[in-house]
Each structure stands twice: as structure tokens, then as C-alpha cells.
Structure 1
Amino acid sequence: MNHRQEKFVRFQDWNSERSSDRNFPYNDRARWRKVGMISNELHKVLECGSRRIKSILQALNSCLSCLLARSLGSEKKMLDPQGPFLQKWNKIFVLSCVIAVSLDPLFFYIPVIDNDNKCLHLDRKMEVTASVLRSITDIFYLLHIVLQFRTGFIAPSSRVFGRGVLIEDAWEIAKRYLSSYFLIDILAVLPLPQVVILVVIPRLRGARSLNTKNLLKFVVFFQYIPRLLRVYPLYKEVTRTSGILTETAWAGAAFNLFLYMLASHVLGAFWYLFSIERESTCWQRACGNSSACHHASLYCDDDHTGFKTLLNSSCPIETPNATVFDFGIFHDALQSGVVESMDFPQKFFYCFWWGLQNLSSLGQNLQTSTYVWEICFAVFISIAGLVLFSFLIGNMQTYLQSTTIRLEEMRVKRRDAEQWMSHRLLPEHLRERIRRYEQYKWQETRGVDEENLIHNLPKDLRRDIKRHLCLALLMRVPMFEKMDEQLLDALCDRLRPVLYTENSFIVREGDPVDEMLFIMRGKLLTVTTNGGRTGFFNADYLKAGDFCGEELLTWALDPHLSNNLPISTRTVQALSEVEAFALVADDLKFVASQFRRLHSKQLRHTFRFYSQQWRTWAACFIQAAWRRHCRKKLEESLREEENRLQDALARGSGSSPSLGATIYASRFAANALRALRRNTSKKARMADRISPILLQKPAEPDFTAEDK
């Protein structure tokens, strides 16, 4: 069936007919008449296509304008250029533009050489695929054009103070867009490659197909320029409004690497098309030198009769001969057979690798012929490779510097610390503690001054960040569970992060308490000896969610507080690396004075229950009460025994005492005497021990004066 056969067309240069007058039996007038007919037909086709495109654009514009008008409600509701919708759309459109720039070179892979018949034909499957993909990207251009007529702008004269005034007048918006990027957008969206591939080329037959090669090449290249020109301002606009893409160094490096790969893809596609063009030029020259060969026979069609022997000898590929015809840098494509393959992935990746290889080597390995345009193409490869490689290396260097600058600062600080420790002759154990602290601080903060960074932010933003960092930690502290949100915000705003290394002492017993710690991570040991008195020792462990330095809270809650800081009753030592938040004395006093809800009775009871100081005092108080109970119970038992003995003696006073009574009395007397001696010595020893065991009751604020 004829309709299933592929359409074969032979490409040829416009100027190739100058040396082929003898191949055509027509005179000059007939040839010029034929050229005029071709030009008229092309003009009619392009005019018809432009009218159709114009009608489609007008219909789409009117439909989308109506939809936008209905959705927005009135003319006053124009789109804000800095609104979330347009920011998302600009990102999508930039991505679609980059994809469109990557898809346009696919049209260059449509021509294929039939080596068996020595003719050219078109890959029908590639035609449809490239046209469909190009049409999909054109839809985004159409939507962008419509949205530009509905997007307001900030008047330059109103940017003196503040954000500026948003212009929402439809006529001003249209006038501004028509005078800026409207022409570029229209040139970029015209479906010229689809029209040439699907409409123009199928209508050209025989010798008239000589024009299709240059037509395809120049149409795609003509539209490639406005598409490239549109990407850069859009990229700058997206970066300015939303601050993405290359605001970070790694994104800039990735973007330039993508440009490098895209340039390799484009150069590979041009190399493929130019290789076919050079072989086509060789065929035309060979036919021009032979009276039996006709140019029309170089195109694969139903009436094709090849001249394989003539073309193989005049255009040698397997055994290249520069004296016959020098293919230059295109010989590799012809010899590898990539221009003959219908397997698109195979020829795509081969051409991409050729472009990447020569772009990276700046075209140093290219052996060109004396053909001028081939030399220009090689020069362009060298310049493009130099520019893109410089951008790529520059951004990579910026990225590496941004990641290593903190490390370099840490090395400088560590070197300065080592020199200072050597100058001061610090012992090795102190040096090791300093090194551990610096290393742990780097691991936790990566060299970022977190406190200074948060302090420079606005108050509401600083409050939200502090809530994110500290609120969950404060809520794990039982005494803060029932506080209201305003009080928790005040506490969070004044917390600052602190780090402690292993075996470091946070506070020692007897030292002034200047901060209250809320532990976020790590394990601590808290010990008290009741002022160093002999015979008393109490220890406990603190973990994430606990706190220490509660003496400071009692001091801050006291309405009659003094300027002297409270004395620590415990020694707190870090058993591992500890990360916590600290609340200093002045900040805690400010919070307590501003928010009297801290003085509630329920909060005071909760504080007593979870305070280590109150827990220790309660344990000592219970122990002392238990000892009093045991001593009282012993005294009562002795008193009962004594009463029982006296009763027995009273009953036996009227008669002579029996032998059993005498023995019982003697045993009781001995036991009582022994117990009396033991109790006397124990009381003497306990008199020295009970006083240190009984801790002094922790100070409790008196709010009676406040209540009055």
C-alpha cells in the first residue's frame, strides 16, 4: 500500500544547481519559472499557516481572558507579580522553557541516510514525536502570553518608599507588555518547525525538495534564538521574587552543569545535521560531474534509481581520501553509521558524547577541512566550551569555598587555641578538655553563631523560632506543663543554647547560682553533701527533660529578693556531652516580675515535687521522722516491760518469792541494764549524727506582703 510507505526526500544546498546545468534539459527561463512556482507555493502555504495560527491564538486569548475575567471577578483584580500563584507559574514556565530548548534540536535528527541506495529520507516516527513534544511546550508559551496581559506591575516612580504601587489598568499592562517581550514570545511560540515538517516538506517533490534542507535548518535555528533569549530574564525574575534556583552555590553549579550538558546536546545535533549536509554536498558534486546522474535521483522516492558505484567512488567513507573529498570533522559520523541508524537512542547518545567530548576539550582534537563553515563551527565549539567551562568551574569553586570556609575558620581557631595553650603552659588534661569542647561545639553548630543569628531577626519571627526550638523542651519539664502560652513565649525568648563536654562541672556546691538549666540532651550527676558535713551524701542523675539550678527560681519568685545570688546546694557534673538551654538570673527575675502567675500555689507545689533540693530535704525529713518513730517505739516497749515487772513484784510481795520469779527478775534486770547502757552510748553517737542529717528546709517565698 502506498499510504504505508515512508516519504523520502533528498536535501540539497540552494547553490548546488550552479554547476549542474547540463543535468537538466531545461533552459534558464524554465528553471526560473519553476523556482517562482516553488516560491509562490511556499508563500501560500506559509500565509495560510500564519492565518490559522493567528485565528487559534485569538481564540485562545479570548477564551482564556474570559475565564480569567470570570475567576477574578472584575478588571481591578489583576494578578500580583509577587503573588504565590505567579511565583509558582514562573517556576513552571522556566522549567518548560528549558525543556523546550532541549527538545528543539530533536528536529535535526529527522533526516536519515539510506546507505544501500545512496539517498536521503525522513524518519516519520521522529517527525511525529518531535512535533508533538514541541506542541506541548508551545501550550505553556500561549498560557504565559495570556497571563502577561492579566499581570500587574509596580510603577517605577512609586518605588521611592516601600513596596510601590501596583498598576492594575488593563491598557497600561498591555502597552507595557507589547513594548517589551511580546514580540519575542510570539516568535518563540510560532509552530514553524511543525508546519515545515508536516505541511511544507510532504508537498515538495523531486528537484523542488532541494530547498527543504536549508528550510528546516534555518527555521529551527531562527526560533531557537528567541527561546534562549526568553529564558534568562525569566530566570532573573524568578530569582528576584522567590529567591530560588541559584541563590545557593550548589544550585548555581548544578545549573551551569545543566547548561554544559545542554550545549553538548545542541552541538551533537548540529554535528549530525551538518554531517548529512556534507555528504549531500559530495553527492551533488559527484552528480554534477557525471552526465548520467540526476539530482532528483538523490532522494528516496518511489521512482528512485541509485548511483551507488559512482557515489561510493566519488565520496569514499570507508577509506577516506582527502584529495577526492575531505569530510573533516564530520567523517566520524559518516564512518560510524550513526547517520544511517533509525535507532534514536543510539544516535542521540553518540552525538551527545561527541558534543560533550569536544566541548570539554575546547575542540582541540578536531581535524577540520578547508571548508569555511566547518571551520566556523569548530571555532564556535572552542569558544562555547571555553565560556561554559569557565562558568562551570567558577560556580564549582564557589560551591566548594562556601562549604569549606567554615572548616577553614575552625582550623584557624584551633591553631590559635593551640598556640595560646602552649604559650600559657596549660597542662595536658586542660588542653584535652578545650579541644573536646571546640570539637563538640563545631559538631553541633557547624560554626554558625546561632544566638547572634536569631537575635538579628524581627521579634515575631524570633519568637516563632524560639517556640520551635524550645517549646517542646519546656513542655517536657513538669513545672511548665500548665503555664499559659504568653508565659511560655516569654521564657522561650530568653533561653539561650549552651554546650558542656563530658566530665565538666556545670556548678559546684557552695558556688553562686547564676543560671537555670533545662537539659535537652545528655546525662548529668547531681551530688550534695549538705555543706561538706561528715556522714551525709546524696546523689541522683539528671536526663533530658530535667532541670537544675532551681535555687535561682526560688530567689526570683521572692518579692523581697536581695541582690546576692543564691548559693548552690548541689554539685552538677556532666557525664556525657550535654546540650541544654540556659535561663540567666536577670532574665528569670524579669519574667517572674512581669508574670505574677508564676506565684500560683499549684505551680509552687509542682516546683517542690520536681526540685532536687526539696526532694533531698523531704528524704532527710522522712528519715529523721522514721528514726524518731523507731526510738519512740523502743521506749514504749521498755516501759511495758518495766510495768510488767513491777506488777509481778507487787503480786509476789505478800509471800516469799518463788524461784521462777527470782530468775525472771534477775533476767529483766540484766536486760534492762544492758539496754540502758546501749541506748546511752547510741544517744551519744546519734547526737552527733542527727544534726547534719537534718537538712535546713529550702527557702520558700513569702507572698503575704504582696497579697496585702
Structure 2
Amino acid sequence: MCVCTLISDGTIIYLWLHMCFSRFKDDLELTKLPPMNGDGMVKLKYNINGTKILEPCTERVENKLPATTRRGKLLKAKVLSRVFSEDFERVKKKILDPRGPVIRRWNKIFLVACLVSLFVDPLFFYLPIVKKDVCIDIAIPLEVILTMVRSLADAFYIVQIFIRFRTAYVAPPSRVFGRGELVIDSGKIASRYLKKSFWIDLLAALPLPQVLIWIIIPNLNGSTMMNTKNMLRFIIIFQYLPRLFLIFPLSSQIVNATGVVTETAWAGAAYNLMLYMLASHVLGACWYLLSIERQEACWKTACDLEEPYCQYKYFDCNKVKDPGRLTWFNSSNITSLCSPSSSSYPFGIYGDALEFNATAAPFFNKYFYCLWWGLRNLSSLGQNLSTSTYAGEIIFAIIIATLGLVLFALLIGNMQTYLQSTTVRLEEWRIKRTDTEQWMRHRQLPPELRQSIRKYDQYKWLATRGVDEEALLEGLPLDLRRDIKRHLCLDLVRRVPLFDQMDERMLDAICERLKPALCTEGTYLVREGDPVNEMLFIIRGHLDSYTTNGGRTGFFNSCQIGPGDFCGEELLTWALDPRPSVVLPSSTRTVKAISEVEAFALRAEDLKFVAAQFRRLHSKQLRHKFRFYSHQWRTWAACFVQAAWRRFKKRKEAAKLRAMEDLMVAEPEPEPEPTKPVSGLAIYAAKLAASTRRGINMHSESDTGVVSPLQKPAEPDFSVDEE
């Protein structure tokens, strides 16, 4: 939007241009923009003829383009130099988001590749082998296999370098915005990467062992075996350190992105155990190579005693057919001098490799033996090592003891923590149960009560596994809590006929207020005459519900409640009253669990809120449903029908008796037989008895009337809401 304003003297026009506001701070390399006034708008000055008045701040801006074009390009460059994560979708094809799913997935893949490369590199130490002709050779098949596997692992490091050049980073000055701005300028990303960790990644990606054993060593003068053994030791260790170093920042990135390296306790324990085994693997490979060097040192010592017939080059298997070597070897006793059973040379901690012929064994045999040696001494902190007086051997033993102590404290400690986390709740439950037993003995509770407490604790553990569901849900956001409660309780709540007419929001409110409840077999949830403080919705299990009408003799009504049913509807009657009393209603029934019961409880204060919304429904329909599904109303209705039926039967019998009596009175008296005269006193007595029976029936009928033997339940008054 542009606004042109003419100044009173007619000499200058101010052109106001709206500036595109952005949340980004100015980059250091961005040229300064034209000056801004207090309203945050760019101000450019022009003469009346349209020529621009140059100012010092605009001399740095390119003058070949119009001001609006220059400003648009500057803003475009600004927008593309930094971006927030939510705006990253526009440039995601060119630059990768460090917190995006692609980088998170690649970090896990690259972590596995790093672990594989850390496992492969020490295997190069197994290339030298000792043969029975007292010479050292190179295992060509193993050399080819390791070259192929190592080249494949190096490809992942090269891909990692390429990805790092295309991964945005968070600008440090922008962290005041919370998550910060992502710098997506490829030049800045490359410059920052080259200044920081590029050289470490490049050193880790170089194929140094392959170049060494296939190109450099064959072209060197002297013994090929000697050059391979000596240079491998330094090259592998030199490149192993940066590769090992890359594991730690990579693990930190995974933890920052996902929270943990592994999502399960068993995977975490396996990860730490694998690192411990990796250390044993490295120590075993180093011990194997040093054993060959110690054996070679013994050969050289014996060779010095047999000069000038013996030369060091004879210990290379490429010289095994040399005539001079054949002459020397046939007359030499070097095999007996360098035997591990001989005490003429101190082999120290490398004696086991020579005694069990590990240096000349097939690859898998010597590998597993060396792995076992490394694991055994790493776990025992090198306590079983008997070293000689060689400084290098002693230093190697010190490294084993120190590394074993550190790894045992860190990796094994972490693995123990992971494994204990799977049973920590079980241990807590056992401790709590022990405390409960001590408390019951201290209070001298009867055996029946103790058994009930034990059964409840056992069932609660089986149902929840020690998880506090309420505490777990409280730590979740409101929408997640609502969805979880809806999933668990909605179908159950809809089974209640009084709730099936409510809308979704109201049902969600009810579900949010439901609390889990557990009952063992034989537990009385409520007794007849006790106050009702909650309404229960049964998930699983069965209960008996019965009433004696306040202990009335000869009266008993019983029914069974199962999954999907509810009890405690007296509380609903109390809550539906527009003016409920402070005193909770008394239960008209006794509810007893006949099996383990799991339910959701809706407490009195929560039910008040539900009832306040429920009174907005159609009162006649509500009253009908409440009467139809309430056990209290069903009992009263059954008693009412029973009383009406008895009253009907009594009236019917009384009417029949009256008809018979009237018939007897209306009939003419038969002619008296001459042989059997009838007395008038007998007729009067019969009429008096009939009149007495009729009076008794009428009195009994007036006493019973329409009164039911069971008192009619209280009915909520909806007149307030209807008015």
C-alpha cells in the first residue's frame, strides 16, 4: 500500500511504503534497509519532479533497480535465510529440518551403521596369522570380506556428510523465540559445518584400512607381513577414536528428538549390554594382535642368538621357500625356545594365546576365544592377569582394569536400571504388602478381616499392575484425558437409559468425572439404610442387590447386577431434585459383590453437576425412564401390583360370598318335611354369621385400600425447570 503526501511548500513528496513485518532478526550479511519512521514504515524522499533525494543510508543499496524492487528482493532474501519450523514446509525439498521425521529416522539408521563399523574395524587385527613354519602370513579371504563390509559402512559416513550439508540449524540469537529460527541458507549451513565437525566426519569416512592393505603396503619395500601388522595397529586405532566419538553426539541428538535412545526397558538393557560386548570385542582383538607381536619378539630374540644364519625377513611366509631360510630352519631350535611351555621367554598375559594355539586357529575359533578372553578380564577388572615386566604389557593390563571398572559402573549399571524398571512396581507392591501384614499383626485384626484385605490387594495388583491410573491421566493434556476417558467409559455410560439422551459434550463431562473402583468377592458396596455417596457403573463382575423393606418380616426382593448395569440410583433421585438436601439419601437396597468387580464410580458432588444439566431434558420422558430402570421403583411397582392383586382377589371373594348369601336370602323356604321340622333360630344364626363376615371383609378392605406394603419412592420435582 502506498500513500503520497504533498508538503505545504510543494517541494517534497514523501512516499510511504508498508514494510513486511517478520519475526526474524537482521543477519550480519544483510545490507541495511532504508530508514524507518516511528510507525515502522519505510520512508523515501522525492523531489517534486520525481527525482529521488539520495541519503547516506541508501547509497549502499543498488541504484539500478527501483526502490520497491530492491526492497522486495531484500525481504525475499531475508525470508529465505531463516524460517520457523512451522514455515519449513515451503523449502523442505531443499533443506532438511533437524527436528523433522527424516532426520530422526536417519539418525537411528546411522547409529546402527556406526555400531556396525565399530564392530568391523577391530576385525582387521585378525588378518595376521601364524603358520607352523614359524612365519606370519595374511588371511586373504578374510581381507576381502572385511574390505567389502568396511566399504559399505564407509558409505553411510559419506551420506552423513552430505546430509549435514543439507540440514538446517537453529540460529543461536533466535532462541529467545522458544524453539528458535531455522537457518536454511545453504551457504551458512556449509560454513558452519566446515568450521565445526566436518573434519571429524571426513576422518571417520576415509577408507584408510582398505587403501593401506591393498595399495600402500604392497608397494613398500621390506616384509609385507611386518608392514601390515605394524601399520594396521596405528591406522585402525587412529580412525577408531573419531568413529567412537561420533556415537555420543549422535545419541544426544536422538535423545533430544525422541526423549530416549530406546523406547522399551529390554531394548535399553540390550543396547548397554551390546556396548559392553563391543568393548570386550575390541580388547580381544587387541590381545590377539599383541600376542602375535610377542611371539614375533621371541622369534627375533632367538634369531639374534643364531646370527648370521638367521634374518628377520625369514619370519615372513613369502620367504618360506628361500634356500637360506630352509637351511637355517632345519638347523634351528627356535620352536623349542619360543614354546609357551618353555620358561626361557616371558610371554606374560599372552601365554594363553600361544598355549592354546589361538594365533594359528581358524578364524571363528580364535575370534570367539579372544572375545571370551576380553569379556572375562573386562568383567573381572583384570584381576586374573599375570603380567611380565614389559611396559607395554603392563599398560595394556592397566587399560583393561580401568576400562572394566568404568564400563561396569556405567553400562552394567544402566542395564541393571533398565531391568529393574520392569519389576520396580512389583517390588513396591511386595514392600507395601509386607507393611500391611505388619500393621495387621500390630492391630490384631481377626483372620477373616486379614484375608479380605489380602484379597483386595491381590485383585488390585492384578487389575492395575501397580499403575495409578488417575495420576497417569493427570499428567496428560486435557484433550488426551478426554479421549481416553471417552474410549473407556462412553459405551458404558450410554447403557444407562437416563444418560442416553445427553449430547456428546455432556457425556464427555460425565466420563471425565468417573473414577475407577475395585471390589473383591463378598464385599458390601452399600447396605440397606446406609447413606449413598456414589453411583457405580459396572464394567465386569456380578453383584447381588436385595431389600427387606427396612427389615419387614416376610419381605425379600432380590436381583442380580452385571456388566453394563448400575446401582446407587437413589443418589440420582437426590441429585435431580432442584433443591437437594445436604444429607445424602439412604440406600433402599443392599448390594454385595458375588465375584471380583471392576466399575466406575460417579460421586455425589460430580453427580450434582450432571443432574444440573440433566434437568433441562423433557421431564415426562425422564420420569418414565427413571421409573422403568430403577430397581427401587421396580420393587415398589411389584409390591404395588401384588397388593392390588390381593385386593382384587379379596373383593372378588367377598362379592361371590355376598351373591351366595343374597341368593340364600331371596330363595323361598322349602316346604318343611313333616318328618324333619326346621327351626327359625337356625336361620337367624346363619344370617348373623354372613353379616359378620361381610363386615369383617369391608373393614379389612378399608384398612388396606390402595396402600402398598412398600413405601413409594421419592420422585424428583421438575416443576421449577418446567416453569
Q: TM-score range by the shorter chain?
A: 0.7 to 0.9
- Report what 2:111 is aligned to: 94
Report the secondary structure of 1:171's partner residue: helix
Counterpart among 170, 176, 199 of residue 154 in structure 1: 170
Counterpart among 376, 379, 382 of residue 357 in structure 1: 376
| 2:285 is equivalent to residue 269 of structure 1 | yes
Q: Structure 1 481/219 Cα, relative in aligned 2: closer, same or farther at 3 Å?
A: farther
| 2:197 is equivalent to residue 178 of structure 1 | no
Counterpart among 128, 136, 139 of residue 111 in structure 1: 128
User: Which deviations, in whole Å up to 9, do the C-alpha atoms of 1:536-574 show, x marking residues without a partner?
Assistant: 111222223221111112222233433332221111123
Distance 2:463 2:268 in 1: 27
- Report what 1:54 is aligned to: none
Q: Which one-letter code corresponds to 1:85 in the other structure?
A: V
Contact 1:528–1:537 (8 Å) recurs in 2: yes
Counterpart among 526, 536, 556 of residue 537 in structure 1: 556
Please give the residue correspondences for 1:263-302 in structure 2 after superposition, counting only pairs within 5 Å: 263-288=279-304, 289-301=306-318
Distance 1:406 1:210 in 2: 59
| 2:717 is equivalent to residue 696 of structure 1 | no
- Report what 1:592 is aligned to: 611
Distance 1:565 1:536 in 2: 25
Question: How far apart are 1:456 and its partner, in Å?
Answer: 4.5
Contact 1:535–1:689 (8 Å) recurs in 2: no
Contact 1:317–1:331 (8 Å) recurs in 2: no
Distance 1:644 1:128 in 2: 127
Question: How far apart are 1:143 and its partner, in Å?
Answer: 2.3
Contact 2:340–2:351 (8 Å) recurs in 1: no
Question: How far apart are 1:359 and its partner, in Å?
Answer: 1.1
- Report what 2:601 is aligned to: 582
- Report what 2:50 is aligned to: none
| 2:386 is equivalent to residue 370 of structure 1 | no
| 2:329 is equivalent to residue 313 of structure 1 | no
Between 390-399 and 148-157, report the one with greater CA deviation.
Answer: 390-399
- Report what 1:19 is aligned to: none
Report the secondary structure of 1:178's partner residue: helix
Please give the residue correspondences for 1:472-487 in structure 2 after superposition, counting only pairs within 5 Å: 472-475=491-494, 477=496, 479-480=498-499, 483-487=502-506
Q: Structure 1 674/104 Cα, relative in aligned 2: closer, same or farther at 3 Å?
A: farther
- Report what 1:345 is aligned to: 364
| 2:572 is equivalent to residue 553 of structure 1 | yes
Q: Structure 1 424/341 Cα, relative in aligned 2: closer, same or farther at 3 Å?
A: closer
Q: Which one-letter code corresponds to 1:335 in the other structure?
A: E
Distance 2:687 2:106 in 1: 100
Q: Which one-letter code corresponds to 1:696 in the other structure?
A: Q
Distance 1:316 1:608 in 2: 106
| 2:349 is equivalent to residue 333 of structure 1 | no
User: Which deviations, in whole Å up to 9, do the C-alpha atoms of 1:441-498 show, x marking residues without a partner?
Assistant: 4554455543344334432232233234433543455654564432221011111122
- Report what 1:15 is aligned to: none
- Report what 2:208 is aligned to: 192
User: Which deviations, in whole Å up to 9, do the C-alpha atoms of 1:22-54 show, x marking residues without a partner?
Assistant: xxxxxxxxxxxxxxxxxxxxxxxxxxxxxxxxx
Counterpart among 76, 80, 89 of residue 97 in structure 2: 80
Q: Which one-letter code corresponds to 1:321 in the other structure?
A: S
Contact 1:530–1:692 (8 Å) recurs in 2: no
Distance 1:205 1:677 in 2: 144
Distance 1:436 1:682 in 2: 57
Question: How far apart are 1:352 and its partner, in Å?
Answer: 0.6
Q: Which one-letter code corresponds to 2:482 in the other structure?
A: R
Between 609-618 and 231-240, report the one with greater CA deviation.
Answer: 609-618
Report the secondary structure of 2:148's partner residue: helix
Distance 1:317 1:684 in 2: 129
Counterpart among 456, 459, 475 of residue 478 in structure 2: 459
Q: Structure 1 298/612 Cα, relative in aligned 2: closer, same or farther at 3 Å?
A: same
Q: Structure 1 677/596 Cα, relative in aligned 2: closer, same or farther at 3 Å?
A: closer
Report the secondary structure of 2:716's partner residue: coil
Q: Structure 1 290/450 Cα, relative in aligned 2: closer, same or farther at 3 Å?
A: same
Distance 1:198 1:483 in 2: 80
Report the secondary structure of 1:163's partner residue: coil
Normalized per residue, the structure richer in helix is 1
TM-score by length of structure 1 reads: 0.77
Question: How far apart are 1:154 and its partner, in Å?
Answer: 2.5
- Report what 1:566 is aligned to: 585
Distance 1:159 1:329 in 2: 55
Counterpart among 254, 258, 266 of residue 242 in structure 1: 258
- Report what 1:223 is aligned to: 239
TM-score by length of structure 2 reads: 0.75
User: Which deviations, in whole Å up to 9, do the C-alpha atoms of 1:643-678 show, x marking residues without a partner?
Assistant: 88899x57xx8x96999xx9xxxxxx9999999999
- Report what 2:84 is aligned to: none
Report the secondary structure of 2:215's partner residue: helix
Q: Which 5+ residue runs of structure 2 have no aligned equivalent?
A: 1-87, 678-683
| Larger RCO (CA under 8 A, 6+ residues apart) | 1
User: Which deviations, in whole Å up to 9, do the C-alpha atoms of 1:417-446 show, x marking residues without a partner?
Assistant: 667666766555445544544554455445
Distance 2:454 2:694 in 1: 58
Contact 1:151–1:173 (8 Å) recurs in 2: yes
Contact 1:333–1:339 (8 Å) recurs in 2: yes
Report the secondary structure of 1:339's partner residue: helix
User: Which deviations, in whole Å up to 9, do the C-alpha atoms of 1:280-320 show, x marking residues without a partner?
Assistant: 33334444543334444433349734655466525645553
Contact 2:170–2:180 (8 Å) recurs in 1: yes
Question: How far apart are 1:414 and its partner, in Å?
Answer: 5.7
Distance 1:426 1:195 in 2: 81
Q: Structure 1 310/639 Cα, relative in aligned 2: closer, same or farther at 3 Å?
A: farther
Distance 1:676 1:129 in 2: 122
- Report what 2:3 is aligned to: none
Question: How far apart are 1:376 and its partner, in Å?
Answer: 1.7
Question: How far apart are 1:266 and its partner, in Å?
Answer: 0.8
Q: Structure 1 637/575 Cα, relative in aligned 2: closer, same or farther at 3 Å?
A: same
Contact 1:76–1:168 (8 Å) recurs in 2: no
Aligned residues between the structures: 625
Q: Which one-letter code corresponds to 1:300 in the other structure?
A: C
User: Which deviations, in whole Å up to 9, do the C-alpha atoms of 1:323-344 show, x marking residues without a partner?
Assistant: 2x332222221232222223x3
| 2:179 is equivalent to residue 163 of structure 1 | yes
Q: Structure 1 547/690 Cα, relative in aligned 2: closer, same or farther at 3 Å?
A: farther
Q: Which one-letter code corresponds to 1:697 in the other structure?
A: K
Report the secondary structure of 2:509's partner residue: helix
Q: Structure 1 374/423 Cα, relative in aligned 2: closer, same or farther at 3 Å?
A: closer
